[in-house]
Amino acid sequence: MIVLEVSDSVTLMETAVQKKRNRVRVFLGKAVLFMALLLVLDHAIGAILTHGLKTYFGLQGSASVLCIGHSRMVLGIDSGILEEKLQTSVAKYTVRGADTADRFAMVRHFLTENPDVRLLVYDVESTSFAGSGLSSNSYRLFYPFMDNPEMAAYIQQQLTSSLDFRLRQLLRTSRFDEVTVSLALRGLTGMSRNLKMGTFDPDAEKRRIARGRRRAVSVEPTKYEVFLDTLEFARGRGVQIVLVHMPTVDILNRFDSENRRRVRQMFADLASQTPSIHFIDFSTAFESDHNLFFDAIHVNAKGQTIVSHALADEIRKLPIPPTATKTE
């Protein structure tokens, strides 16, 4: 009788342990399934957003003309107008705050994925090589493109944590922030026009200059070297280059005017010494027409249309058009 009771007790314990193991297995199975579904959903959303972002930047399909720059070109150039007037495909890969290092990575990224580019339109200004003033975190906007080897290498150089990089490799939606999501949605909906409808306030700009809130004009050697490396990389692939100085209002042009003139002369000299490099200087072309500007360095929607037409007209005057065959 006692033996039977002990045996029954052992059987009950074994049954309880087995049930517990089964519950653990079921829980782990559900957890694995949940994680798998989460990863599938993450990759699906990431793929849609990446497609939208690539569409916005012109990374889908091929392009003969590539525009590279920061906010001045974001707001200053209408790629649709360029396409219509140049009769060729145009990509506008422009990121707010992008400095010379960012742009070098952008050019390498684009040209490795699109070897059909014939002309690089590169946004320059008198403060292109200043030591500060642009975003130090703009590289984060390139997270969605970290599958590209060139961009992955650049991002890894900026990050202090390899774990951060690995996590973003695994979770694709973690590569996006509010800025890149917004741009991706604009790409998905085909919205690329300049939405700045305001006009320039001269008094506000004078106060800004007086408070020292405009970037000082200077040439940091390392930034200039990166700029030259970018041009050499493009030229090495048979790409013609247009350096375009976007419009600036007269009030700002008069601030530290001699140094601004010297930097512009650097671009002019570079173009005169290199047949495959051209310089289009719009810095003072529209300076007195304040109705075309949103602020001292950015044009509004009306200004974008006028500048885009003017730029297309100047490009059409080049000795080698953007559809020319690449040189070896």
Residue 160 falls inside a structural domain: yes
Residue 232 pLDDT: 96
Q: Is residue 190 part of a domain?
A: yes
Give the pLDDT band (50/70/90) at residue 30: confident
pLDDT digits (tens, 9 = 90+) for 85-132: 999 999 999 998 899 999 999 999 999 999 999 999 999 999 999 876
114-151 CB burial, b ≥16 within 10 A, e <16: beebbbbbbbbbbbbbbeeebbeebbbbbbbbbebebb
Q: Spell out the alpha helix ranges (H) of the chain.
A: 2-57, 71-76, 79-86, 100-113, 149-158, 162-170, 178-189, 202-210, 221-235, 250-253, 257-273, 301-316
Coil, helix or strand at residue 209: helix
For range 255-279, the mean pLDDT: 94
Span 34-58, mean pLDDT? 91
Question: Count of domains in the chain?
Answer: 1
Instruction: Give the mean pLDDT of the chain.
Output: 88
Q: pLDDT tens across 243-258, in order?
A: 999 999 999 999 989 9
328 within a domain of the structure (yes/no) = no
**Does the pLDDT at position 195 exceed 60?**
yes
The answer to whether 234 and 270 have CB atoms below 8 angstroms apart is: no
Write out the two tokens for 295: 């602020």
Residue 327 pLDDT: 37
**How far from chain centre, in Å, is Cα 31?**
38
β-pair type (119-124, 65-69): parallel
Model confidence at 286, pLDDT cuts 50, 70, 90, reads very high
- CB within 8 Å of 97: residues ≥ 6 apart: 70, 71, 134, 135, 137, 138
Task: Tell me, yes or no, whether 168 lies in a domain.
Answer: yes
Structural domain of 160: 43-316
pLDDT bucket at 303, cuts 50 / 70 / 90: very high
28: in domain = no
Give the Cα separation of 72 and 278 in Å (integer): 19
SS3 292: helix
Q: What is the pLDDT of residue 92?
A: 95
The residue with greater pLDDT, 43 or 327, is 43
Say which residue, 72 or 197, is predicted with more confidence.
72
Under 8 Å between Cβ of 317 and 310: no
Q: Does some domain include residue 24?
A: no
**Does residue 240 belong to any structural domain of this protein?**
yes
pLDDT at 174 over 60: yes
- Bridge-based pairing of strands 90-94 and 240-245 is unpaired
Q: How far is CA 234 from CA 13, 175, 206, in A?
A: 74, 28, 39
pLDDT recorded at residue 135: 60
Does the pLDDT value for residue 61 go beyond 90?
A: no
Instruction: Identify the CA nearest to 48 among candidates 168, 191, 187.
Output: 187
- Residue 14's pLDDT is 63
| Cα 170-184-33 angle, rounded to 5 deg | 35
What pLDDT score does 328 carry?
Answer: 35
Predicted model pTM? 0.85
CATH number for the domain harbouring residue 303: 3.40.50.1110
Stretch (H or E) spanning 236: none
Residue 324 pLDDT level (bands cut at 50, 70, 90): very low
> What size, in residues, is the chain?
328
Q: Tell whether 22 is covered by a domain.
A: no
Which residue type sits at 141? L
